[in-house]
């Protein structure tokens, strides 16, 4: 019997294992959900372009492990997001974006592959981006809204760790958006003020 088999038999096997490079998570507690273009209606600027596309197109997929209940104080969650390349009109595929319901709860993002921009916005709506690529680590303050944009031609994969009592406020972003958008102009990403 190998050491791993022995560990497994004696209940010492880790409940989740990762495939870092591919964004794989396996194990009984892992959950997964995909976000389609249809579910992101109203988030992209060019609604006419979006209406021409298949609403079932996957924009991103999230896998996560919540070892404690959502809302429990002091716990940590772990997950990965795989954001596909693509555009709606000029606008690159991106996550919905949110701010944590509990504005004191921060988060780490760590990129393993792809090319992206992390859009951040503070409570005064001041917005900026951080470049994401293999090996970049991002500390997101609890009161900063965050969204990820894939500006490359391959899936953008990043891992995240956040508090079990962080919660999600999607409403603020759905209503007011971020202060900036990332559009493709002349074959390159351009950061423009969000006037919608």
Give me the residues that bind ligand S6P (CB under 6 A), please: 62, 79, 81, 95-98, 107, 160, 162, 166
Rounded Cα distance between 196 and 177, Å, is: 8
Count of positions (residues) in the chain: 196
- Compute how many other C-beta atoms are within 10 angstroms of the C-beta atom of residue 100: 23
> Is 109 or 183 the residue whose CB approaches ligand S6P more closely?
109
Phi, psi dihedral angles at 125 (to 5 degrees): 70, 10
Site string for Zn ion, 75-114 (x = CB under 5 A): --------------------------------x-------
Q: Are 117 and 130 within 8 A, CB to CB?
A: yes
> Is 91 or 107 the residue whose CB approaches ligand S6P more closely?
107
Residue 83 beta carbon to ligand S6P: minimum distance, rounded to whole angstroms: 8
Residue 11 beta carbon to ligand S6P: minimum distance, rounded to whole angstroms: 29
Residue 164 beta carbon to ligand S6P: minimum distance, rounded to whole angstroms: 10
As a whole number of Å, the CA-based R_g of the chain is 18
> Is 146 or 181 the residue whose CB approaches Zn ion more closely?
146
Residues 6+ apart with CB under 8 A from 49: 88, 89
Q: List contacts with Zn ion (CB under 5 A).
A: 107
């Amino acid at each position: 019997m190998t050491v791993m088999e022995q560990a497994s038999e004696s209940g010492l096997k880790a409940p989740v294992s990762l495939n870092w490079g591919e964004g794989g998570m396996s194990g009984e507690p892992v959950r997964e959900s995909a976000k389609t273009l249809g579910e992101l209606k109203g988030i992209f600027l060019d609604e006419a372009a979006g209406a021409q596309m298949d609403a079932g197109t996957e924009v991103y997929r999230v896998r996560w492990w919540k070892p404690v209940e959502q809302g429990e104080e002091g716990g940590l969650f772990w997950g990965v997001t795989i954001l596909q390349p693509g555009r709606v009109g000029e606008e690159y595929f991106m996550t919905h974006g949110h701010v944590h319901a509990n504005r004191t709860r921060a988060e780490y993002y760590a990129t393993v592959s792809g090319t992206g921009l992390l859009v951040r916005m503070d409570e005064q709506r001041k917005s900026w981006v951080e470049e994401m690529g293999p090996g970049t680590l991002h500390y997101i303050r609890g009161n900063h809204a965050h969204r990820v944009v894939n500006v490359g031609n391959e899936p953008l994969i990043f891992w995240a760790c956040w508090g079990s009592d962080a919660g999600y406020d999607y409403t603020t972003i759905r209503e007011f958006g971020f202060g900036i958008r990332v559009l493709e102009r002349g074959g390159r990403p351009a950061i423009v003020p969000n006037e919608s």
